[in-house]
Structure 1
Amino acid sequence: MKNRLRLLAAAVLASASLGALAAEVTLKLGHQGNEEHSWHKASLKFAELVAAKTKGAVEVKVYPNESLGKEMDIINAVQLGSVDMTITGESLQNWAPKAALLGVPYMISGSDQMKRIVDGPIGKEITDEILSKTKLRTLAWFERGPRNLTANRPITKPSELNGLILRLPNVPLFISTWKALGAQPTPMALSEVFTGLQQGVVQAQENPLSLTMSGSFFEVQKYICKTEHVRSWIYMVIGDRKFGKLKPEYQQAITAAAKEAQAYEHEIFLKDEAKLITDLQAKGMKVVEVDQKAFADVARPAVDKAIKPEIRDLYQKALAVK
């Protein structure tokens, strides 16, 4: 009899524990970064903060490594409601033209200027258009590592490019910019870059340091040329329809948690950038300082010409932010 009572008590306690653990709302957040990426670490921190602020009523499940699909697939899934959240940036220009400003070469020269742009009226114009055109609500923004050129010879000024066969993503603005600088741009999928460099189909590539590391490009490239030609940011977004269905107190908790996760991500982003330089040097790469002003002076007319008319005014406003 005592054993039965013990078993019954244990069952009641287990049932109560399960009830307490069961979330009222579950949100799926899918992104492209791997488990070591600052976006993933920030997403986990966000999930932890949401759970704490809602006493477990809202659970955020994080899916890294494109496990819910590639960036465009996930954007579509969030719009349809089969996924709730993602981390995305200039790809949103397919719907909201002003999102193109998230990746313009030589528009932003440093973190302080970026913060003033993103947190000010320009950033609000961009997020307002994203919301109205894509039905995605921006919750936080993360700084992305600047894009740097890698090659097998040191390049310090545009004249040294001299027809360098450079792999680029298929972004028209990037292609026209590097043509103006004197390179020979070759659009190529990221998955093909390592083999392309190894076989000499392309001679160089440009990416944030995190992708130079994760793509193992240090095995086929000797120099990091610090062009820092694109400084950009990316947004954590939630489907607006999903957000609108949440209780007001959950909306407040999610909004507050996202802002805290943003500050957390910025801290680890800065540490990760410094560590990446050290780690890539340990892998045998050499860091080359570049005449960034010379690159910017040559690139700027090409960028100005390639900016679409509907965002030209906002682009000029962003350039004026110092």
Structure 2
Amino acid sequence: MPEKRFDFAAEMTERGWPAPDETTMQGLLDIVDEGTLGASNHVTLALPLVARLAAADRPTARDEALALAEFIARTRGQGAPIVANALRWQTAGASELDPRDAARLLSDRAAEWEGAAAARRRALIEAGVTALAGTRAPLIFDYSSTVADLVRALANGPGLDRIIIPESRAIDGGRRYMTALSDLGVEIAFLPDAALDYAVTLSDAVLLGAESVTRDGGISNTVGSTPAARAAMANGIPVHGAADLFKVGDRTRDELPAPPLRRYDFLLKPGETATTAAPELEIVPPTLVTSILTEIGPVRPADLGGAVDRHRGNGEIQP
């Protein structure tokens, strides 16, 4: 497991500030060293952690909190733009306030996040149902709570004939959809990843969740997402990502480093020896994406960067 949290402790020492306490170090373990999984979970952990440090009873508390936010943003936030974007929003203007007012601002914004994120989710689902009103048989690859909510809304609204779920064997993500959507009363096809070409012919749209989205509309998701999108496009089937605008990063797909490798040793039988290293995430190229379903409606990959700039400039991207 990475131990980036100790880099923050070293930075605090170099600045002559108090060493991070146990709560801060545990928070960093969960966030930057990914002891807890999921970018959205990391935002939920990071904002109160920053606010808590700002409330400490010492003259440097505000600056320590801002340093903590900056550290999380440049570590975990590099791979998960929602983390960096949320911290950027939380800390905007705090450096210009006196420490007490800054602590109050950071605390208030941390408290706002959950409700506002839920409102963005509702707006995304509503706009997504409208955009996908004619969809009767979505293929959903690897579990995403946003996509699960969208499929549920489609089933309960316009109606669905069938849901196609590849196994997403790398992290068994398809089975989570089986559990989450089994009560809908809609026929489910649960298929091996090797049958992706066949699976897409049963569908009329491919829906992907997103760990993050590149500025040019590439979708970071579990391995297997790109073959699913490629098979869909080859069969004339649209591919939609589902992500709110806080998940859109500042870099394009080509500007990102190669994803890290992980081991898939569950593939080996007892006594077998082989390397099983492969990425867990990949970026679906923008050329294979029809649209990103967002809280402002569907956005084409070519238009995504401009849409984010306009809404940030107008102050319309809210927490």
Pair in the same fold by TM > 0.5: no
* Structure with max Cα Rg: 1
TM-score (norm 1): 0.32
Question: Could you say which structure has the higher strand fraction?
Answer: 1
